[in-house]
C-alpha cells in the first residue's frame, strides 16, 4: 500500500508531509512545547513505554516528546524529573504495574509539556511536587494549564489563558530562585538555578552525577531544524548557558530527547550558543533608523518564516521584544518615542558574551 507521499514511504514528519503535498512549509518551531499536540495522539498508550537504563540509579522514560529522568531511591520508590509532554492515560497505573511508587516530582519549569502528568501521578501516589515559586507566580498570573483537564484542552488546541484556573490542583513544595540541595529522605537532589527559558528554570542533578538540563538547551536533533529563539529572556538565558557550559557532570539528559556524555557536552552547548547569537545578530541586522519595535518584530518573523500560528503566540513575541530591549541595554540601539536608532561609534561594536 503506498505511503502518504505516494512512493511507499510513510512520512512521519509533519514538515516533510506538508512539503510532499506541495503546501507552504514554515520554519520548524521550537521543542515539543509547540509539537506535543501534533505527536501526542500517536503515542498515548502507556503499554508502549519502557524504562531505559542510563547511568547508575538514574534511568528515563520516554513520555510523549520527552525523556523524563527517574531516580531510584530504592527498589520501589522513584523520583521523577518532569512528567511528560501530554497527559498519558494509564501512566500512574503503568508505573504501579512496574512495582514503582513516585515519591516525588521535581519540575525543571512549568511549561505544560513538562508538567502534563503531575496531577494524575499526585492523585495515585500522593507524590510531593517540588517547583519554583517564581515560575509559579508568573504563570498563575499570566495563565498556564496546570490541571489534567486544562492540559488535555491545551493538547487539543482548545485551551485559552482566560479560561485557565488561577490555582493549583495539587499541593506543592515551593523552591526559591537560587541553587539549593533538597534532602529527600536522606537522598540529596541538587537544584541549579538556570533562568532564561522561563522565569526560574532549574537543572537538576541526581546523586549519580547525572545533570538533567530540562529546556536549558536543545538536543542535537532539534537544534538541526529549530529556527526560533529558545530563551524567553536573552541575557539571563545566555548567563545560564555559559554557566552550565563550564559545569562538568558524568552524563547529561536533555528534556526533548537528548543525552550527552561529559566529553560531548561542550560542543553541544557551543552549538546552542552559536544559534542564539546568530539569531541576535540577524535581529540586529534588520534595524534601520526610525523603525518601530513592532515593525522590527514583523521583519524578523518574515526572515525566519514564522508560521501565522506562532506569530500569535505571546511567548515568542515577548522573547523577541526582550532581545530588542537587550540591544538597547547593551548600547547597540537607542529607542526614542518607540522608534529604533542604531548607535554607531565609527564601526559596529564587538559583541561580547553577557
| Binding site residues, Fe ion, CB under 5 A | 111, 215
From the CB of residue 166, how many other CB atoms can be counted at a distance below 10 Å?
A: 9
Closer to Fe ion at the Cβ: 215 or 322? Answer: 215
Closer to Fe ion at the Cβ: 218 or 296? Answer: 218
Q: Mapping DSSP to helix (H, G, I), strand (E, B) and coil, where does residue 168 land?
A: coil
Instruction: State the minimum distance, in angstroms, from the CB of residue 344 to Fe ion.
Output: 37
Phi and psi at 277, nearest 5°, equal -65, -40
Instruction: State the minimum distance, in angstroms, from the CB of residue 215 to Fe ion.
Output: 4
Closest CA to 302 of 322, 286, 280, 284: 286
Instruction: State the minimum distance, in angstroms, from the CB of residue 66 to Fe ion.
Output: 10
Burial string for 178-195 (b: 16+ CB within 10 Å, else e) reads eeeebebeebebbbbbbb
Sign of the torsion angle spanned by Cα atoms 234, 236, 237, 242: positive
Instruction: State the minimum distance, in angstroms, from the CB of residue 112 to Fe ion.
Output: 9
Closer to Fe ion at the Cβ: 191 or 293? Answer: 191
Closer to Fe ion at the Cβ: 201 or 284? Answer: 201
Closer to Fe ion at the Cβ: 26 or 315? Answer: 315
Closer to Fe ion at the Cβ: 148 or 215? Answer: 215
Q: What's the gap between Cα 119 and its chain centre? A: 19
Instruction: State the minimum distance, in angstroms, from the CB of residue 337 to Fe ion.
Output: 35
Cβ pair 157, 37 in contact under 8 A = yes
DSSP state of 25: -
Distance separating alpha carbons of residues 209 and 265, to the nearest angstrom: 14
Hunting for cell 485559552 — which residue is that? 160
Instruction: State the minimum distance, in angstroms, from the CB of residue 29 to Fe ion.
Output: 12
Amino acid at each position: 500500500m503506498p505511503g502518504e507521499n505516494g512512493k511507499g514511504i510513510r512520512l512521519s514528519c509533519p514538515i516533510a508531509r506538508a512539503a510532499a503535498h506541495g503546501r507552504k512549509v514554515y520554519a520548524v518551531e521550537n521543542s515539543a512545547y509547540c509539537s506535543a499536540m501534533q505527536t501526542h495522539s500517536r503515542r498515548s498508550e502507556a503499554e508502549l513505554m519502557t524504562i531505559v537504563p542510563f547511568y547508575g540509579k538514574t534511568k528515563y522514560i520516554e513520555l510523549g516528546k520527552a525523556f523524563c529522568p527517574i531516580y531510584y531511591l530504592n527498589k520501589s520508590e522513584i523520583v521523577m524529573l518532569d512528567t511528560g509532554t501530554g497527559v498519558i492515560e494509564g501512566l500512574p497505573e503503568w508505573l504501579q504495574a512496574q512495582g514503582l511508587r513516585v515519591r516525588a516530582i521535581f519540575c525543571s519549569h512549568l511549561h505544560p509539556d513538562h508538567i502534563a502528568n503531575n496531577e494524575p501521578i499526585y492523585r495515585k501516589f500522593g507524590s510531593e511536587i517540588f517547583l519554583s515559586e517564581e515560575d509559579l507566580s508568573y504563570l498563575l498570573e499570566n495563565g498556564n494549564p496546570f490541571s489534567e483537564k486544562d492540559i488535555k484542552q491545551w493538547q487539543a488546541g482548545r485551551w485559552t489563558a482566560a479560561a485557565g484556573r488561577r490555582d493549583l490542583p495539587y499541593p506543592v513544595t515551593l523552591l526559591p530562585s537560587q541553587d539549593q540541595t533538597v534532602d529527600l529522605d536522606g537522598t540529596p537532589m541538587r537544584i541549579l538555578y538556570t533562568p532564561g527559558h522561563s522565569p526560574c528554570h532549574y537543572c537538576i542533578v541526581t546523586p549519580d552525577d547525572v545533570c538533567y538540563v530540562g529546556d536549558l538547551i536543545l538536543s542535537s536533533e532539534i537544534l538541526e531544524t529549530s529556527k526560533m529563539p529558545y530563551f524567553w529572556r536573552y541575557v539571563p538565558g545566555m548567563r545560564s548557558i555559559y554557566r552550565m557550559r563550564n559545569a562538568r557532570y558524568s552524563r547529561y539528559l536533555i528534556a526533548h530527547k537528548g543525552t550527552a556524555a561529559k566529553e560531548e557536552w561542550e560542543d553541544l552547548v557551543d552549538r546552542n550558543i552559536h544559534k542564539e547569537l546568530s539569531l541576535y545578530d540577524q535581529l540586529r541586522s534588520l534595524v534601520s533608523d526610525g523603525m518601530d519595535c513592532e515593525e522590527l518584530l514583523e521583519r524578523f518573523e518574515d526572515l525566519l518564516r514564522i508560521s501565522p500560528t506562532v506569530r500569535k503566540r505571546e511567548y515568542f513575541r515577548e522573547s523577541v521584544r526582550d532581545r530588542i530591549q537587550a540591544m538597547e541595554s547593551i548600547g547597540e540601539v537607542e529607542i526614542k518615542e518607540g522608534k529604533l536608532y542604531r548607535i554607531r561609534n565609527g564601526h559596529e561594536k564587538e559583541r561580547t558574551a553577557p
